Each structure stands twice: as structure tokens, then as C-alpha cells.
Amino acid sequence: MSQAAIDRPQANEYNEYYSRYISLVPQQDILLTLERQLPETVKLLRNVGEDRGGYRYAPDKWSIKQVIGHLADTERVFAYRALRISRNDSTPIEGFEQDDYVLYGPFQQCRLADLVSEFEHIRHSTLDLFRNLDPQAWTRRGVANKNEVSVRAIAYILAGHELHHRKILQEKYLAASAA
């Protein structure tokens, strides 16, 4: 489906916590942003050697593999939220505890390359969902994790979430692990 530009969400379309992610997203088409940032993140991650996947920049921080697993899990959860809300499902959607998802995820036993590939596939699926929304679906709102959120806010949150973690990976994991 052909899409008109999706306006940036207003502050009343999401919990203030997510401003930290949305503020990272450039002023351009959100679908184009989601599409263009993926190869940058994938390239960054594919340049990490398999032996570095377990690296943590501090003992209490996630490993590189766990960060990638977190990106994949979050993308799935938020895309599901967008699907439900876009289809006008008014049933409140429960939150998820990201630390438990990482703790109980199998990420440490997975190959780094497989985790990167999985994230890449999930993002393509998310893009397919967003590309096929009609204009009215983008502004629909629902309740997720006890907070009102619009579909377009979810798209911006996902883009900003990836940018946030990419920056952390570059600055705290990869720069430090190369030293």
C-alpha cells in the first residue's frame, strides 16, 4: 500500500519515558528511517567477532548477544502492540519485563550471527506490517503497559530504541572491547 508521510507523534500519544527514544529519530519518513537504519545496525553487528558475543562492558551489564536478543524481543513485542492497536483491538495489552526476557532468553547459547539474522528478519516483518497500514490505523490508540500509545508512536519508539542501543553498542561495547 502506498503511504503518505507519517507525522511525528505528539507528546500525548505515548508515555513520557519513550521521549528518550523518539527524540533520537530524525525528521524524515519513519518507514524510510526504519528501513535505512537496519543495514547500518546489521553491518555494525556483523563486524563483531563470534568470540566477542559474550562481552560485557561491566559485570552487571548484558552481553552483546543479550543486547541483540533484547532488540529482537522488543521489536516483536512492540510490533504486536502496533498490530493489535492498528486493528482497533481495545483490549489493554500487558507490559513485559525486559530484564526477565533477557535472563530467560537463550541468547548466550546462540551464535551471534544467528541473533543478528533473527533481528534482521523481525525488522523486515515489522516493516511489512507498517507498510500495509491504512492512514487511519497510524493514529489509532490503545493501552499497552497501562499507558495510552498510538501506532505511529510505536513505530518511532522502535526506531529510537534501535538507535539508542546501537549507540551504546558502539560507545560502551565495541569501542571498549577493541581496546
* Number of neighbouring beta carbons within 10 Å of residue 151: 26
Residue 2 in any domain: the answer is no
Per DSSP, the residues of 84-133 read HHHTT--S-B----HHHHHHHS-GGGS-HHHHHHHHHHHHHHHHHHHHT-
Q: Which band of pLDDT confidence, cut at 50, 70 and 90, is reported for residue 177?
A: low
The burial of 179, by beta-carbon neighbours within 10 Å (0-12 exposed, 13-18 middle, 19 or more buried), is given as exposed
Contact criterion met (CB below 8 Å) for 112 and 68:
yes
| Distance of alpha carbon 70 from alpha carbon 113, whole angstroms | 15
Cell of 157: 519508539
Q: How far is it, in rounded angstroms, from Cα 168 to Cα 174?
A: 9
Q: Which domain holds residue 139?
A: 14-178
5 occurs within a structural domain:
no
- The CATH number assigned to the domain holding 48 equals 1.20.120.450
Is residue 32 one of the residues assigned to a domain? yes
Query: For residue range 34-65, what is the model confidence (pLDDT) as tens digits?
Result: 999 999 999 999 999 999 999 999 999 999 99
- Does residue 7 form part of some domain? no
- What pTM was computed for the model? 0.95
In a domain, 8, yes or no: no
Into how many domains does the chain fold?
1
pLDDT tens figures, 68-80: 999 999 999 999 9
Q: 111 lies in a domain?
A: yes
